[in-house]
Amino acid sequence: MDEAIRKETPTEYFRELVESAIQRQHLNTREVTSFYLVNLLAGFIHCDRSGPDDDEALGVRFVKALGTAGARQRYELRHVGDQSLFISGFFSDSLHRSLVDIDYYIQLGEQAYGSLARTSDPAFGDVFDELAGKFTAFVDVLGDVSERTALTSNTDLLRLYERWARTGSRRSADLLAERGIVPVAPVRQRFIQ
């Protein structure tokens, strides 16, 4: 069987997709901001939801972050901005069924990155300032990447994930993994009776 197998890292894979999406969107951006997007996507491949606050609403996390300072504040603001950007770009089709619309995530991401730009060192401050100022354009870039990663639609991917979450289907898990999403089994509470 003569199949061409691409041997590249997630970073190399997403770099090509992000750069071509930026060109298609006619977006003028800094190279370092483009690289930030690439690393953001590569990082979501290995997303581990093991933190204590990961089930907390992003709006609540944002408000709590503003009440902290230093490295903790920067970490939380970055988490809120990154999550908002990823959700808006990759799962915008599914937001119509949720309590909040895409506008909520866009405003939240803009605010988180804007706050982060003011609290970060100047080198990264410029990146976060650009992410805040062009947030909607970067949502479009991630949407473009999503469409080109062999997904027929965001809704199909979400349905596949929901099916895996409900059933634990190995096939669903394999299909998710083929699309770059590593499903992680939720921690189930055990009750002693």
* Residues 84/106, Cβ–Cβ less than 8 Å: yes
Tokens of 191: 């009750």
Amino acid, single-letter form, for residue 159:
R
Q: What is the pLDDT of residue 179?
A: 75
Q: Which residue has the higher pLDDT, 44 or 29?
A: 29
Within 10 angstroms of residue 13's Cβ, the number of other Cβ atoms is 17
Mean per-residue pLDDT for 132-139? Answer: 94
Predicted confidence band at 108 (pLDDT cuts at 50, 70, 90)? Answer: very high
Task: Give the pLDDT confidence score for residue 186 in this predicted structure.
Answer: 56
Token pair for 152: 């027929």
Is the C-alpha dihedral spanning 86, 166, 148, 48 positive or negative?
positive
Q: CB atoms < 10 A from the CB of 153, how many?
A: 12
Tell me, what's the pLDDT at 33? 96
For residue 18, the model assigns a pLDDT of: 95
Q: Which pLDDT score is estimated for 28?
A: 95
d(CA 132, CA 122): 15
Interval 66-86: pLDDT, tens: 999 999 999 999 999 999 999
Chain Cα centroid distance, residue 24: 20
- pLDDT in the model for residue 135: 93
Residue from 81, 85, 94, 90 nearest 149 by CA: 90
pLDDT digits (tens, 9 = 90+) for 41-64: 988 876 655 555 567 889 999 999
- Pick the more confident residue, 126 or 179: 126
Tell me the average pLDDT across 17-37.
93
If pLDDT is split at 50, 70 and 90, which confidence band does 27 have?
Answer: very high
Structure confidence at residue 167 (pLDDT) = 65
Residue 59's CB is within 10 A of a number of other CB atoms, namely 16
178, 167, 88: which is closest to 134 by C-alpha? 88
pLDDT at residue 5 in the model: 54
